[in-house]
Amino acid sequence: MGYSKKKILIYFISWLSLMLCGCLMFYVLTERSKNNFYQQGVRAVQEIAGKNLPSLVNFIIQGNFNPPLNITADTFSENLKFVAVIENNGTGNNNILAHTDPKFVRWPFTPPLKKPKHIDTIDDVVIEKEDSPYNERLISFSAYISANGTNIGRAYLVVYSYPLDGSLSRLRWIFASGYLLITIMLLIIYLMNSKGIIRELPNDYPPRKLGPSIVGIKLHEGGMAGIFMAVNEKNGRTVIVKILLPHLAKGHHIDLFKQEAKLAEDLQGLPNIIQLEDYYEKDNAIVMEYIRGKDLSEIMDKVKIIPTDQAVFIISQCCIGLHYAHSKGIVHRDIKPSNIMIRFTGEVKIGDFGIAKKMFKSDGTIVEGIKGTLPYIAPEQLKQIKEEPVDARADLYSLGIVFYEMLNGEKVRNFDGVGTYTAIQSILETEIRPLKDLKKDIPAELNDIVMKCVEMKREARYQSAEELREALSVLERKLGLSCDGPYLSAFMEEHFDERQKRQMRNDG
C-alpha cells in the first residue's frame, strides 16, 4: 500500500509543526533560564551597591570608611569569581576600594573581559558575557552607586557561567533527542502503514446499524473480523455481529467470509449449533445469536476438572451438533474449548465455523494451508494429503482432546515457547498418553472411549459423531450417569457470580 502525495504532505506538515512547536518551546525555556540566572546577578549586585552606599559617602566626606565596606555576596556561592567596589572620583583614575581577590590591586579590575559579544541591561545593571583570557566562561554584573544623582562608585560582580551553560546544554540535548525520537516514530509509522501493518479504519466501520440491529461495543478483534455486540431494536434481543476488517474487504478474504456465511446458512435450524440471524453482504457482516453463558475454556479455567457426568453430557451434546453439520457435508476443523458455548440455562452450542469447509473428493486442486488450532488439531489436518481430504473424523479427534482435558484438568499439549515445526512433529509422531495413567480412578470404559477418539490413525477412531454418541449413551447406562440441561444449569449457577445467575434466570 503506497502513499499519495496528499498523505506524504500531511506527514511532512505534521513533522514540521512538531518541530516548530519544539523550537518555540526551546526558545521560551532557554530565555526563562537565562532570565532567572541574570535576575540573581542583578539582585546580588544591587544588594552590594545598596549596603556600601553609606560607607562611600563617609569616605568622600570624612576620608574613612564608617561603616566598613561590605563586599560579601552569597547568592552564587561556589560559582562566584570576583566582587569589587570601585571609587568613581571623576578623574578617570578609578580606584578599587575593596575586592575579594588579593592578587588584583589595580584598575581595571580583574579578571578583565574581552570585548563582550553579549550586553544586556536589566534595572540599570549592565550584564556582559564573554570568555576571560584564562579560558573561563564568565558573566559580569555592574551597577553605579549613586548619591543625590551623582555616581560615587560602582559595584562589580563576576560569576562563572557554567551553571547557565549546563542548563542550556541539557535543554539542547533533551530537545534534540525529542526531535530525533519524533522523527523516528513518524518514520516507523510511515513504513508500517506503507506495508499495511497499521490500518486506517473508514468512518463507517463498524456500521452503526445493520438492518434492525444497532451495533454497540466491540468484544474482540481477530485476524480477519471484529466481533461486536448489537441489539435488535424491533424485539430487543441481543445479537452478535461479525464484521470483516475493512482492509481485508477484497479478493480471497471476501470469498472466505462469504463461504462462512453460506455454511452458517446451511446450518440454520440445526440443534446445538450457534445460529445465523442474518447476513449483510454489502457490509461484509454476519449476525449471529448471542449466547448468555460461558465458553468451555472459561469454565475449565475456573473449575479445572469437569465432573464425569457433566463432561459426558457436554460431549454428547457436541456430538449432536457435529452429526447434523457432518450430515450437511460440513467439517468444523477447529473444535476446541473456546468454540463450545454453555448457556446459563444448560444448553450446549458449537460456534465459529469460520474455517469450516465442505467435504469433497480430491479433484487435483491445490491443497489449502493448515487450518485449525495446533493443540487440538488432528494429524491428518497437518499432512494435507490431496487423496485423503480432511473429513468428520478430524472433528472427533479434536473433540476427544477436549474430552481428555475436561476429565484430567490439564492441557494434553502445551506448545508455549515451542516452534511451529517442533509442535507439528510432536503431533504427527507422539502418541497421547492413556488417560488412566494420569487418573487412576477413571472407569476403564470411559478411558477407552476417550483414547479411541484420539487415535493417531483415523480408521481406528469412531467413524461418526453418532457412533461416538451411542457409545456415550451405553456408558451412561452402564455407570449410572445422569445429567441433562437443568443439571448443567445448576452446575453453572454454582460456579459463576450473581450477575451471571440473574442472566441465567432471565434466559430461563
Q: Which residues are identified as catalytic?
A: 334
- Choose among 266, 309, 320, 317: nearest CA to 293: 317
Written as nine digits, the cell of 435 is 488417560
**Residues facing 213 on adjacent strands:** 210, 232
Sign of CA dihedral 424, 429, 434, 437: negative
- Choose among 188, 236, 190: nearest CA to 213: 236
Residue 322 to residues 304, 318, 391, 441: CA-CA distances in angstroms? 25, 6, 12, 29
Alpha-helical (H) ranges within 125-234 are 162-194
**Residues facing 154 on adjacent strands:** 86, 144
Q: Which helix (H) or strand (E) holds 374?
A: none
Phi (first) and psi of residue 461, to 5 degrees: -85, 180
Residue 65 to residues 58, 70, 465: CA-CA distances in angstroms? 6, 10, 115
- Choose among 353, 434, 360: nearest CA to 400: 434
Phi (first) and psi of residue 445, to 5 degrees: -65, -40
Whether 389 contacts 361, CB under 8 Å: yes
